[in-house]
Amino acid sequence: MAEAQKEDKLANKKITTRAENYSDWYLDVVEAAELAEHAAVRGCMVIKPYGYAIWETIQKTLDAKFKETGVQNAYFPLFIPKKFLEKEAEHVEGFSPEVAVVTYAGGAELKEPLIVRPTSETIMYDAFSRWVQSYRDLPLLINQWANVVRWEMRPRLFLRTTEFLWQEGHTVHATQEEADERARLMLGIYKDLAEELLAIPVIPGVKSEGQKFAGALRTYSVEAMMQDGKSLQFATSHNLGDNFSKVFGIQFSDSQGNKQFGWQTSWGLSTRSIGALIMVHSDDNGLVLPPQVAPIQIVIVPVWPKENEKEAVDLEVKKIVEEIKNSKNFRFVVDNSDKRPGEKFFAWERKGVPLRLEIGLKDIANNSVVLARRDTAEKKTVKRDVLLPEIEKLLAEIQKNLYGRALDYRNKKIKEVDNLADFKKEIANGNFVLAYWCEDKETEAKIKEETGAVVSCIPLEQTSSEGKCVYSGKLSKRKAFFAKSY
Amino acid sequence: MAEAQKEDKLANKKITTRAENYSDWYLDVVEAAELAEHAAVRGCMVIKPYGYAIWETIQKTLDAKFKETGVQNAYFPLFIPKKFLEKEAEHVEGFSPEVAVVTYAGGAELKEPLIVRPTSETIMYDAFSRWVQSYRDLPLLINQWANVVRWEMRPRLFLRTTEFLWQEGHTVHATQEEADERARLMLGIYKDLAEELLAIPVIPGVKSEGQKFAGALRTYSVEAMMQDGKSLQFATSHNLGDNFSKVFGIQFSDSQGNKQFGWQTSWGLSTRSIGALIMVHSDDNGLVLPPQVAPIQIVIVPVWPKENEKEAVDLEVKKIVEEIKNSKNFRFVVDNSDKRPGEKFFAWERKGVPLRLEIGLKDIANNSVVLARRDTAEKKTVKRDVLLPEIEKLLAEIQKNLYGRALDYRNKKIKEVDNLADFKKEIANGNFVLAYWCEDKETEAKIKEETGAVVSCIPLEQTSSEGKCVYSGKLSKRKAFFAKSY
């Protein structure tokens, strides 16, 4: 009994509301939905089965999209010789403070310490310099699914963890144009993944010089807005130019037999995307998941207030289960636990299951069931003979509604301004600011200092007009998005 | 031209024959088929796309089998606090000499050094002690796909590498019987994977006390014989008893409310299995792959000795490609490179592609194509209208033939002996020895010292008779397999 009470207490722990404390709300949602927990090692996390199932769906979807464009998977070592990381000046400067170092192994001090990979440009490009010899070897299109380590001082589940899971794609091309096209192609794949699978609207753009990847010529990203108005970098795609190929000697003979350096890209998406998924859709009752990525799309809850009703209800549930199994690939569970229906509803709501199917004796008599939506809390009585098409329709509607809702919310919070006073006011109000910007590094630093906002991205879509920089007043060709950032 | 010559030289590098030097042959096959290469960090490897595609098929197949039995995937941290590893006495003793240690991270010396996981029992069971509270939480069935590190003094691609990829399953049960059943269930899954997907016959058995996993009550394994008569442990499944649950405090309240310790298992298969795959089937011409796991099942080679034949042949190839795409899920490529047909045949033979389809003008006139098998080198002329069913039939035949061939070879090399002289002779001849054994640790050590053979396993299938131990002469109930071992 004591155990059962302890369990109930945990299961019923109140979720902090977003208004009370957004940051506590986030952690409460992660805990209540059993997505992940802090590990014994500071900064690291344990991704629990329910959270990992989300990652598996992201992986599967993205991997298929990559392969359609000719990308092949491979695997490179976890350890990077220190001298490799040091070869590219900006790159080592960018990563040095974050690295973990193995100094002792196999029972002895190592002669050369090994870096636990924070990213794999250097170790991969050492191999690429052997793999690429002729223009016939190009383009080289490689991806790896792996864990990486960047020492994190202020860890936060999914959003910032010392170890995280990701994929990193790395390509080599014969021309700079082709490399830039590839970087944009992969950006488009990330955009589709965010919008179609996760129902997260994103803005494709270019990072400012101050925010770009260490060693890149140009960093593209897709940026999402969280409900607190902060921006989150959902995924990045870098045009590396020939910075790394010159350092690692990635050279090919062109069709005339002349030696040329390769043009490169790298692109990645991490378990951080799950943090975005949580923050974009969830509410004060817990997690909300779009059906396409939900590990469980439907929970079936049999309702038998009296013990003697159980048999008839369970029989009908079994029929429904058979129907679903025989016709559709819905991911579903039946909650047969001995909790009361209300407790069950509460628990599955917190786990963000998109659709709940309730069925009791009265429903059976009416030849119907009740379907309840997680996104809108609407309930609908549905005749048994149209149950499967209704479920299919509702799941599609929920997916669409979540995307539309997130898009409306974001668009309302985008404020276009042309002066610093308005800029400061809108940032303070938790909005995204769109404004002309001169793209100077110093301006960027000053804006951050004075407002707390950073350049989220310079959106790829721009009108052809020009205007005055919101900070420096200089004539500027492009607008940028500014926001506080994760 | 210089580049092209260099490439040709590499592509044509002779493969050492098995008779000349088995160990060089293995490395030559791995290199010629472009499966993997040594990394810049000693003991680590780069798994190249062709090798990684094999791992992906193994993963996908195994993962589906696990999930059918109720297993869920999760992810635990790469780093293990030193004190965790030290909690179980046998476990720390088993792994201490092999571990890599992070002592410096985030710009400072760490107060407590972190072990890079050599296996995850300890870090997982710390979490399990929180996850398991009641009998309702059992069985807990968790798996993770991950990289692990065990410092390797004599590295060998796939077979022994400092970092390797694997899956490790970890379960908790209410009773010892249920845990042992689970350990055997997973062993059965590994056996099916070996035999059905990889066409590798394996012997299921129990490891000797000297060979069991550090911390386990009992280690089950499936053992495969390589062509040199050495045994290779294909996968293991451990009944851990309550050794770890007592140390990590994994306790549950049973239905009467009494506290009990959980009973555990762990089980794993690694990229080492690819080493077995290579060694069981390949020949002096290079890699041989069973169709089910082959990244490319068919290579289509258009033959146009004269330039003016190219157009007609290519047109017919396009038709064949369309037919395959529209009806079957064969994995295939068309080799349109400008090499001569003989060179192409040679290259794809080294990569172990099960079936080669040749087509030239004469074949088109005869309304046929030529199919060549990698396993037997047989060529067969096949009419165009039965091409797809013929391919399907041949792929199935090749799969079956490779398994049968490996099984025959192994069975011929199993020698049952009842005296030490014969034992030594058969081991020296590169055979597997089956003999009664007293199961004493000292005998095991002496046999190894005197013959170089270890106990591969005590097979689960035993006759009910008894006999004298081949070394000590003591009355013994079970026979064991002895062999030199990878």
Helical axes A176-192 vs A49-68, angle rounded to 10°: 140
> Backbone phi, then psi, for A161, in 5-degree steps?
-130, 150
Q: Which residue among A75, A102, A123 sits closest to B40, beta carbon to beta carbon?
A: A123
**Higher confidence at residue B3 or residue B231?**
B231
Q: Residue A357 belongs to what H/E stretch? A: strand A355-359
Gap from A381 CA to chain B (nearest CA, Å): 33
- The predicted-structure confidence for B435-449, as pLDDT tens digits, reads as follows 999 999 999 999 999
Residues A340-353 have a mean pLDDT of: 95
Q: Find residues 152-171 of chain A whose CB sits inside 8 Å of chain B.
A: 152-153, 163, 165
Chain A residue closest to B82 (CA)? Answer: A41
Q: Does B5 touch chain A (CB under 8 A)?
A: no
Half-sphere exposure of A346 (CA within 13 A, CB side): 12
Gap from B55 CA to chain A (nearest CA, Å): 10
Helical axes B176-192 vs B49-68, angle rounded to 10°: 140
What pLDDT is stored for residue A83 in this prediction? 92
Cβ neighbours, 10 Å, residue A465: 8
User: What residues have CB less than 8 Å from B480, skipping those under 6 apart?
Assistant: B208, B434, B435, B436, B437, B439, B455, B456, B457, B458, B459
- The predicted-structure confidence for A117-160, as pLDDT tens digits, reads as follows 999 999 999 999 999 999 999 999 999 999 999 999 899 999 99
- DSSP track, A170-197: EEEESSHHHHHHHHHHHHHHHHHIIIII
8-state DSSP, B14: P
Q: How confident is the model at residue B195 (pLDDT cuts 50, 70, 90)?
A: very high
Residue with tokens 């908790």: B172
Gap from B77 CA to chain A (nearest CA, Å): 6
Q: Let me know: does A335 contact A301? Beta carbons within 8 Å.
A: yes
The reply to whether residue B73 touches residue A81, judged by beta carbons under 8 angstroms, is no
Nearest to A290 by CA among A226, A364, A373, A378: A373
Residues B270-294 have a mean pLDDT of: 98
Query: If DSSP codes are grouped into helix, strand and coil, which group holds residue B149?
Result: strand
Angle at A268 between CA A263 and CA A273, to 5 degrees: 160
What chain B holds in terms of domains, given with CATH numbers, is: 33-281 (3.30.930.10), 298-409 (3.40.50.800), 414-483 (3.30.110.30)
8-state DSSP, B197: I
Residues of B in contact with A167 (CB under 8 A): none
Residue A255 is encoded by which pair of tokens?
């069709």
- The predicted-structure confidence for B225-247, as pLDDT tens digits, reads as follows 999 999 999 999 999 999 999 99
Residue A329 is encoded by which pair of tokens?
């690939």
Give first-to-last CA distance, chain B, whole Å: 43
- The predicted-structure confidence for B334-389, as pLDDT tens digits, reads as follows 999 988 999 999 999 999 999 999 999 999 999 999 999 999 999 999 999 999 99
- Cis-peptide, bond into residue B389, ω within 30° of zero: no
- The span from the CA of A72 to the CA of A386, in Å, is 43
Alpha carbon A100 to chain centroid distance?
24
Residues A252-259 have a mean pLDDT of: 96
- The span from the CA of A227 to the CA of B236, in Å, is 48
What pLDDT is stored for residue A13 in this prediction? 83
The reply to whether residue B149 touches residue A78, judged by beta carbons under 8 angstroms, is yes
- The span from the CA of A454 to the CA of A221, in Å, is 14
The reply to whether residue A127 touches residue B46, judged by beta carbons under 8 angstroms, is yes
Alpha-carbon distances of B450 from B415, B420, B444, rounded to whole Å = 18, 10, 10
- The span from the CA of B228 to the CA of B409, in Å, is 11
Pairing of strands B475-476, B467-468: antiparallel
Gap from A56 CA to chain B (nearest CA, Å): 9
Q: Whats the size of chain A, residue-wise?
A: 486
Residues A3-26 have a mean pLDDT of: 78
- The span from the CA of B430 to the CA of B352, in Å, is 26
Residues of A in contact with B162 (CB under 8 A): 79
What pLDDT is stored for residue B11 in this prediction? 62
User: Does residue A389 have a pLDDT over 80?
Assistant: yes
Helical axes A22-32 vs A272-281, angle rounded to 10°: 110
The reply to whether residue B76 touches residue A114, judged by beta carbons under 8 angstroms, is no
Residue with tokens 């165009």: B384
Q: Whats the size of chain B, residue-wise?
A: 486
Q: Let me know: does B120 contact B146? Beta carbons within 8 Å.
A: yes
The reply to whether residue A257 touches residue B1, judged by beta carbons under 8 angstroms, is yes
Q: How confident is the model at residue A2 (pLDDT cuts 50, 70, 90)?
A: very low
Dihedral sign computed on CA atoms, order B391, B397, B401, B402: positive
Query: If DSSP codes are grouped into helix, strand and coil, which group holds residue A325?
Result: helix
Residues of B in contact with A123 (CB under 8 A): 39-41
Cβ neighbours, 10 Å, residue A409: 14
Gap from A309 CA to chain B (nearest CA, Å): 24
Residues of A in contact with B48 (CB under 8 A): 74
User: What residues have CB less than 8 Å from A370, skipping those under 6 apart?
Assistant: A357, A358, A359, A363, A379, A380, A381, A382
**Torsion of Cα atoms, B285 then B391 then B196 then B412, to 10°:** -50
User: Does residue A373 have a pLDDT over 60?
Assistant: yes
Pairing of strands A108-116, A100-105: antiparallel
Residues B200-204 have a mean pLDDT of: 98
The 10 Å CB-count burial string (b at 16+, else e) for B191-202 is bebbbbbbbbbb
Residue B9 is encoded by which pair of tokens?
């030289």
Q: Does A80 touch chain B (CB under 8 A)?
A: yes
Residues of B in contact with A257 (CB under 8 A): 1-3
Residues of A in contact with B129 (CB under 8 A): none
Dihedral sign computed on CA atoms, order B162, B163, B168, B170: positive
What pLDDT is stored for residue A7 in this prediction? 52
- The span from the CA of B113 to the CA of B122, in Å, is 16
Query: If DSSP codes are grouped into helix, strand and coil, which group holds residue A410?
Result: helix
Residues of B in contact with A295 (CB under 8 A): none
Q: Which amino acid is at B231?
A: S
Alpha carbon B96 to chain centroid distance?
25
- The span from the CA of A245 to the CA of B262, in Å, is 54
Q: Find residues 235-274 of chain B whose CB sits inside 8 Å of chain A.
A: 253, 257
Q: Which residue among A1, A74, A80 sits closest to B52, beta carbon to beta carbon?
A: A74
Q: Let me know: does B456 contact B204? Beta carbons within 8 Å.
A: no
8-state DSSP, A156: B
The reply to whether residue A72 touches residue B49, judged by beta carbons under 8 angstroms, is yes
User: What residues have CB less than 8 Å from A69, skipping those under 6 apart?
Assistant: A141, A185, A186, A189
Dihedral sign computed on CA atoms, order A100, A104, A106, A107: negative
Residue A88 is encoded by which pair of tokens?
């590219």
Gap from A425 CA to chain B (nearest CA, Å): 36
> Which of A38, A60, A78 to probe the B interface (max B CBs under 10 A)?
A78
Q: Which residue among B44, B134, B253 sits closest to A79, beta carbon to beta carbon?
A: B44
- The span from the CA of A346 to the CA of A340, in Å, is 10
Alpha-carbon distances of A82 from A62, A454, A468, B12, B42, rounded to whole Å = 31, 32, 45, 35, 13
Average pLDDT of the residues of chain B: 95
- The span from the CA of B81 to the CA of A473, in Å, is 54
What pLDDT is stored for residue A329 in this prediction? 86
User: Does residue B6 have a pLDDT over 90?
Assistant: no
- The span from the CA of A15 to the CA of A89, in Å, is 46
Q: Let me know: does B240 contact B216? Beta carbons within 8 Å.
A: yes
Q: How confident is the model at residue A324 (pLDDT cuts 50, 70, 90)?
A: very high
- The span from the CA of A37 to the CA of A45, in Å, is 6
Residues of B in contact with A6 (CB under 8 A): 133
- The predicted-structure confidence for A84-128, as pLDDT tens digits, reads as follows 999 988 888 888 889 999 999 999 999 999 999 999 999 999 999
Q: Does A75 touch chain B (CB under 8 A)?
A: yes
Greatest mean pLDDT among B8-17, B89-98, B441-450 lies in B441-450
Partners of residue A267 on adjacent β-strands: A169, A237
- The span from the CA of A221 to the CA of B19, in Å, is 56
The reply to whether residue A80 touches residue B41, judged by beta carbons under 8 angstroms, is yes
Q: How confident is the model at residue B16 (pLDDT cuts 50, 70, 90)?
A: very high
Residues A439-463 have a mean pLDDT of: 95
Q: How confident is the model at residue A1 (pLDDT cuts 50, 70, 90)?
A: very low
Q: Does A49 touch chain B (CB under 8 A)?
A: yes
- Cis-peptide, bond into residue A113, ω within 30° of zero: no
User: Does residue B32 have a pLDDT over 50?
Assistant: yes
Q: Let me know: does A434 contact A474? Beta carbons within 8 Å.
A: no
Q: Find residues 417-456 of chain A whose CB sits inside 8 Å of chain B.
A: none
The reply to whether residue A41 touches residue B127, judged by beta carbons under 8 angstroms, is no
Percentage above 70 pLDDT, chain A: 98
Residues of B in contact with A37 (CB under 8 A): 127
Tell me the whole-structure pTM to 2 decimals. 0.96
Residues of A in contact with B257 (CB under 8 A): 1-3
Residue pairs spanning A and B at CB distance below 8 A: 173
The reply to whether residue B77 touches residue A142, judged by beta carbons under 8 angstroms, is no
Residues B388-404 have a mean pLDDT of: 98
Q: Let me know: does A163 contact B78? Beta carbons within 8 Å.
A: yes
- The span from the CA of B152 to the CA of A157, in Å, is 34
Chain A residue closest to B74 (CA)? Answer: A49
> Backbone phi, then psi, for A236, in 5-degree steps?
-130, 155
Q: Does B45 touch chain A (CB under 8 A)?
A: yes
Sheet architecture: strand order including B203-206 = B72-73, B140-149, B163-173, B263-270, B231-241, B218-225, B203-206, B454-459, B478-483, B432-437, B414-416
Alpha carbon A151 to chain centroid distance?
20
The reply to whether residue A99 touches residue B105, judged by beta carbons under 8 angstroms, is yes
Gap from B295 CA to chain A (nearest CA, Å): 11
The reply to whether residue A147 touches residue B149, judged by beta carbons under 8 angstroms, is no
Q: Find residues 97-136 of chain B whose CB sits inside 8 Å of chain A.
A: 97-107, 113-114, 116, 123, 126-127, 133-134
Give first-to-last CA distance, chain A, whole Å: 43
User: Does residue A3 have a pLDDT over 80?
Assistant: no
Q: Which residue among B7, B79, B151 sits closest to A41, beta carbon to beta carbon?
A: B79
- The span from the CA of B189 to the CA of B276, in Å, is 17
Q: How confident is the model at residue B8 (pLDDT cuts 50, 70, 90)?
A: low
Residues A177-196 have a mean pLDDT of: 98
The reply to whether residue A101 touches residue B96, judged by beta carbons under 8 angstroms, is no
What pLDDT is stored for residue B217 in this prediction? 95
